[in-house]
Amino acid sequence: MKAKSGTVPSELHSVAPDQTAHAAQDIVKALDWIFAQLSAAAPREGSDWEVPLTFQEVRVIKMINARGAITMSSLAIFMGISLPTATHLVDRLVAKEVVVRTRSEDDRRKVLVALSERSIACVKTFFENRVAMILRILEPFPEAEREQFANALGKIARAMQSEGNTAE
Residues 6+ apart with CB under 8 A from 92: 57
Q: Is 35 inside a domain boundary?
A: no
Give pLDDT tens digits for 106-151. Answer: 888 888 999 999 888 888 887 888 888 888 889 999 999 999 988 9
Q: Is 161 inside a domain boundary?
A: no
Strand-pairing partners, residue 114, are: 100
Q: Is 73 inside a domain boundary?
A: yes
Query: What is the pLDDT at residue 103?
Result: 86
d(CA 24, CA 164): 19
Query: What is the pLDDT at residue 9?
Result: 54
d(CA 38, CA 107): 39
Q: How many domains does the chain have?
A: 1
Higher pLDDT, 75 or 21: 75
Query: What is the pLDDT at residue 91?
Result: 95
Q: Is 142 inside a domain boundary?
A: no
Query: What is the pLDDT at residue 99?
Result: 94
**Whole-model pTM?**
0.59
Q: Check which CATH number belongs to the domain holding 67 and give it.
A: 1.10.10.10
Q: Is 42 inside a domain boundary?
A: no
Q: Is 109 inside a domain boundary?
A: yes
Strand-pairing partners, residue 115, are: 99
Q: Is 84 inside a domain boundary?
A: yes
Range of the domain at 97: 55-116
Q: Is 22 inside a domain boundary?
A: no
